[in-house]
Amino acid sequence: NGYTTDFGGSSAVHGDAIPAYDALKSSLGEAEGLLPEDYGKPEATVPAILKLIDSENPPLRLFLGKVGLRKTERVYAEKLQVWNDWKEVSEAAHG
């Protein structure tokens, strides 16, 4: 997810690129078709964090915004599919 700030915009200062990280940088930089409304409003984060702090049983981890959970659900669905495809082999290793 991202926020409607200039974090990565014209005010950002970047160091020299290290070629070894090009593939990772490319995969992280993919926009995945995000629309302007997919970017969160920074001021909306404060109430969410305060609610987390005030919670009797807060989660260890919390997605902020609309994109992170959606992307993670997709990635984990792919992982679960691979694991299920290999379930027979995995269980055979149990003996």
**pLDDT tens by residue, 47-60:** 999 999 999 999 99
Cα R_g (the chain), whole angstroms: 19
pLDDT of residue 39: 80
Question: Whole-model pTM above 0.85?
Answer: no
pLDDT of residue 5: 81
Question: The tokens of 4 are what?
Answer: 């409607």
pLDDT of residue 62: 94
- Which burial class, exposed, middle or buried, applies to 67 when counting CB atoms under 10 A from its CB (0-12, 13-18, 19+)? middle
Residue with tokens 């991202």: 2
pLDDT of 31 > 60? The answer is no
pLDDT of 46 > 80? The answer is yes
